[in-house]
Every structure is written in C-alpha cells, then in structure tokens.
Amino acid sequence: MSKQGNIALSVKNVSKFYGDGCAYCAAPDARLDKNICPECRTVHACRDVSFDLHNGEILGVVGESGSGKSTLMKMLYFDQEASHGTYHIDDFDSSESSVFGFSGQAKRKIRNEILGMVYQNPVYGLKMDFSSMSNIAEKLIAAGSRNVGEMTGTGDHFLDKVNIPLNRKFDPPANFSGGMQQRVQIAKALSNYPPVLLLDEVTTGLDLSVQADVLELIKEIQREMGISMVVVSHDLAIIRMLCDRTMVMLNGEVIEAGITDQILEDPQHAYTQQLVYSIL
C-alpha cells in the first residue's frame, strides 16, 4: 500500500453475504427486506462498507444487533472472509493489493504484528484454562519473541497496566470475573504493541462499575500508546465517551458517518436520531 499520510488502515466497498446472490441484489440500488434479498433470500451481513482509520484515532461503529458491525470486525481480523471489497493496512505492505487476497501466512503475520483484537466474549480471545501469563506469551511467541525473561517482563507490564494483580498472573482466566477476563484480553492484545486495536462490544454483560473501569482503561491506553482503535458498540453513550469519529450501521450498511460530536448534536438519518434521543 502506498503511504497515505496518517491513514492506519483503509476499507473500501467491503461486503459479506451468505447465499448465492442474484442479479437483483447485485444492483447497487437494490431494495432489500432489511438485509435479505427478496428474490434469492441471500443475507447481506455487510454491504459496501467503506472507511479510513487515521493514526491515533478512535473510530466508533454503532448499530443494533444484526446491523453488521461485528461481521465487519471479524473480516478486519480475518476471522471471516469478505465476499467483496478491498482492505489496506499501512506499515505492512508497500504494494497496492488488498490484504484480503494475501496468503494465510501473511494474514497471520498481520494478526500477530499489526492488529490486536478484544472480543465481546473472552472465550474467543483467551485460552481459559491457561494462565494469564501463558495467554500473553502465546501472543508474543506468535509475533516472534523467544526470550522468556523479556516475555515475562512484557506480561508483567501489561497485566499491571490493566490492573490484574501480579500475584494472580499464573491463575487461569476461567477463575476470574468477566471484567478481569476482559482486562486480560486487553493486556494480551496490547502485548506486541500493535498499531491498531479492534474492540468488539467489550463492555456488554459487565456491571456498570466494571464497564466504567474498562472504558477508562481504554482511554488511558489510547492516550499513552497512541494506538488507532475501532470500537464497536450498540451503546451510543460508550461511543460518545470514547470515539473521535463514528459510523452508524443499519441492516449491513453505513447510513451515517462523521465526527462524533456532529453525529450526536445533529443526526441526519431517522435511525440515528432515534439512537441519539434514546440517550438524552
């Protein structure tokens, strides 16, 4: 990818559909039944999603369940393959080709060196019966680390940063509360100093006091490390607290995007207006 100044990653016209598709739903102006083609019943989980993430920016993606936001995150982290579209990551490749077309080995390298991921359900991001330190070491080894002392030091540093008592670093996450599991996930995702961090509904299901702790931790990490982040949430209050810019998704499409303050103060789409008024 040619250098684009302060762009950390760029997504253009990315789509994910389940089904064979047809001439009707392939048309850009096709009217779907929510996100389902009325002709062939293909489900369009994401439809022509485009955005740039700037260096040091927190981009929010908000929408109701089924809007496509988690599917988008899974494509960015290569947990799912995109049906169409292009995906470029700065700091990784100087060619113009989309990383969606890279080999499995190259995608693993991106996951291990460029991206960090924090899942809504910690079971997808952690090995629950391995110690917290072992979870972090797994990420570091995948990124090429071999020095046990350095890995232990890194693990101590990030577990301390996310307020996990170091006398529990050899405890498995299965023995931790939901909030502690999320903090271990964040420590693991940060351990190789990724330039881009993806966070998918990381506070869902947590008590309000624990939510506040996790959100404050995310803000602190972003300030200290200057990491670019994509934060997915169904809760506009969380987006308001964290994000510089926001995309609103509905039925697999981006219906509105802009500076978060503008979205909140002057929403243009009826669905965004409904979201904003619900938190006033």
d(C-alpha 81, C-alpha 108), whole Å: 14
Q: List Cβ neighbours of 97 (8 Å cut-off, separation of 6 or more).
A: none
Does position 2 have pLDDT exceeding 50, yes or no? no
**Section 219-224 average pLDDT:** 89
pLDDT band at 275 (very low <50, low <70, confident <90, very high): confident
Taking Cα atoms as reference points, which of 7, 79, 9, 83 lies closest to residue 45? 83
Q: Which helix (H) or strand (E) holds 258?
A: strand 253-259
Sign of CA dihedral 123, 146, 89, 216: positive
Cβ(57)–Cβ(30) below 8 Å: no
d(C-alpha 160, C-alpha 173), whole Å: 15
Terminal alpha carbon distance of the chain: 42
Question: Whole-model pTM?
Answer: 0.91
Does position 247 have pLDDT exceeding 50, yes or no? yes
Cβ(140)–Cβ(158) below 8 Å: no
pLDDT value at position 237? 85
pLDDT band at 206 (very low <50, low <70, confident <90, very high): confident
Cβ(186)–Cβ(127) below 8 Å: no
**Section 95-100 average pLDDT:** 80
Instruction: Provide the residue ranges of all domains of the chain, joining segments of one domain with +.
Output: 7-114+195-279, 123-193
Most confident segment among 1-5, 233-237, 258-262: 258-262
Token pair belonging to 76:
């960015």
- What residue has token string 């809504």? 120
Does position 88 have pLDDT exceeding 50, yes or no? yes
In the DSSP assignment, the letter for residue 36 is: B
Token pair belonging to 108:
């693993």
pLDDT band at 28 (very low <50, low <70, confident <90, very high): confident
- The topology under which CATH files domain 7-114+195-279 is Rossmann fold (3.40.50)
Please give the single-letter amino acid code of residue 118.
V
